[in-house]
Amino acid sequence: MAPKYRVGVIASGRIAREHGRGWAECEHTDIVACADSHPEALASYAQDFNVKSTYLDYREMMEKENLDIVSVCSWDPQHAEMTVAAAAYRPKVILTEKPMAISLGEGEAMIIACKRNDVKLAIGHQRRFFSSWTEARRLIADGAIGEVERLWTGVRAGMMNTGTHGIDFQAYAMSDCPAEWVMGSVERKTDHHIFGHRVEDRCCGLIGYANGATGVIENELSGKYMVGALLYGTKGMMDVQGNSLKYMTEDKAGWQVFDPPDKEDTGYGNAFVHQAYGICEWIEGKVEDYRGNGEKGKAALEIMMAVYESARVHERVQLPLQTRANPLDVAVEEGRIPVERPGWWDERSFLVRGEGMSWMKDDK
């Protein structure tokens, strides 16, 4: 069967290669074009994924290629601009990498632009397709560990980087239960950036969910690195790390370990293939509520912005968040979180190929 959907990839760096695998292995999709401002990145991607049309300007790609699906795989500060620009060309779906954006205002603008142009917006929280994550959600919905009371996620390398997956997991595990309040704290002594935007050196946040559960997100504090969470319920507990799941229930002694039906299917990259199929099913109306849609990406973004806002205003922040700017930027610019050891640095600077990256032109 010939692939039905024409895919274009904006920004052909590291994560674009995972998207590339997803689109290439999905029988309904064909990567027909890619765009990158860096000629070498563009050429090597086109060669490795057998892509016929290449563009240095992604708007030109959108103009000429009549795309059904667009992957946005650039650094975080470019997600909003690229998604809003791509939406105007009315592909069926835009899949934008995580974090959705670097402020709530940007995230809202992306959702509005997609709605107005009748475009489905997906966010790259692809771990929602891990079999262990989905099984954890099912078990919790079935009451296996009773009412969830506490969730704990510890990460390294940035709340808005790996942390967004952990926060997204907490919501996913509880059937996308909304958060109602956030209390957070931030340490930022260096002028720390990741993927081109300001981040904390360390932070932690308490998240109050509508079902009464409280979640913890901590970054660079305990040395833990869980892309998942420990969950404590009234009748048991659960440990989800990467694509693995074990749990204890009150009726059985010891850990029960989830045995995935397909053991070949547990790797990091496989989630991108499932994500590709999931998006095709969404296009075809086979799923109403796509598991990684823009609203769910916005829920994780809002929690992260609320951690920063709470640290800025020193209070428990009620959601929906009213502050649309990035509160960490505001706090730093207001002098509330002074940098004590000056000098801009970016944890992901090892990825930079040259000055072609547009985020570098503005403020560096």
Q: Which two tokens stand for residue 246?
A: 């074990």
Report, in Å, the least distance between residue 180 CB and ligand NAD.
Answer: 27
When binding is defined by CB under 6 A, the residue of 172, 195, 282, 308 that contacts ligand NAD is 195
Per CB under 6 A, 196 contacts ligand NAD:
no
| Residues in 82-141 that interact with ligand NAD by CB under 6 A | 97-98, 124, 126
Binding residue for ligand NAD, selected from 30, 68, 76, 218, defined by CB under 6 A: 76
Residues 8, 9, 13, 275: which binds ligand NAD (CB under 6 A)?
A: 13
Handedness of CA 26, 118, 60, 364 (dihedral sign): negative
Site string for ligand NAD, 41-70 (x = CB under 6 A): x----------------x------------
Piece of the chain touching ligand NAD by CB under 6 A; list 29-37, 100-108, 247-255, 280-288: 29-37
Helix axes 14-25, 270-283, angle to 10 degrees: 60
Q: Does 158 bind ligand NAD (CB under 6 A)?
A: no
Size of site (CB under 6 A) for ligand NAD: 27
For 143, the token pair is: 């009451």
**Pick 140 or 279: Cβ nearer ligand NAD:** 279
CB nearer to ligand NAD: give 56 or 257. 56
| Least distance to ligand NAD, CB of residue 353, Å | 6
- Residue closest to ligand NAD, measured at CB: 13
3 state SS for the chain: CCCCEEEEEECCCHHHHHHHHHHHHCCCEEEEEEECCCHHHHHHHHHHCCCCEEECCHHHHHHHHCCCEEEECCCHHHHHHHHHHHHCCCCCEEEECCCCCCCHHHHHHHHHHHHHCCCEEEECCHHHHCHHHHHHHHHHHCCCCCCEEEEEEEECCCHHHHHHHHHHHHHHHCCCCCEEEEEEEEECCEEEEECCEECCCEEEEEEEECCCCEEEEEECCCCCCCCEEEEEECCEEEEEECCEEEEEECCCCCCEECCCCCHHHCCCCHHHHHHHHHHHHHHCCCCCCCCCEHHHHHHHHHHHHHHHHHHHHCCCEECCCCCCCCHHHHHHHCCCCCCCEEEEEECCHHHCCCCCCHHHHHHC
The residue among 44 and 323 lying less far from ligand NAD, judged by its C-beta, is 44
Stretch that binds ligand NAD, among 21-29, 231-239, 240-248, 351-359 (CB under 6 A): 351-359
Q: Minimum Å distance from CB 160 to ligand NAD?
A: 8
Question: Residue 168, interface with ligand NAD (CB under 6 A)?
Answer: no
Q: Does 346 contact ligand NAD by CB under 6 A?
A: no
- Rounded least distance, CB 56 to ligand NAD, Å: 8
Residue 188, number of CB atoms within 10 A of its CB: 21
Q: Which of 4, 14, 316, 341 binds ligand NAD (CB under 6 A)?
A: 14
Of 11, 95, 231, 238, the residue at the interface with ligand NAD (CB under 6 A) is 11
188 touches ligand NAD (CB under 6 A): no
Query: What residues line the site for ligand NAD (CB under 6 A)?
Result: 10-16, 35-38, 41, 58, 73-76, 97-98, 124, 126, 195, 351, 353, 356-358
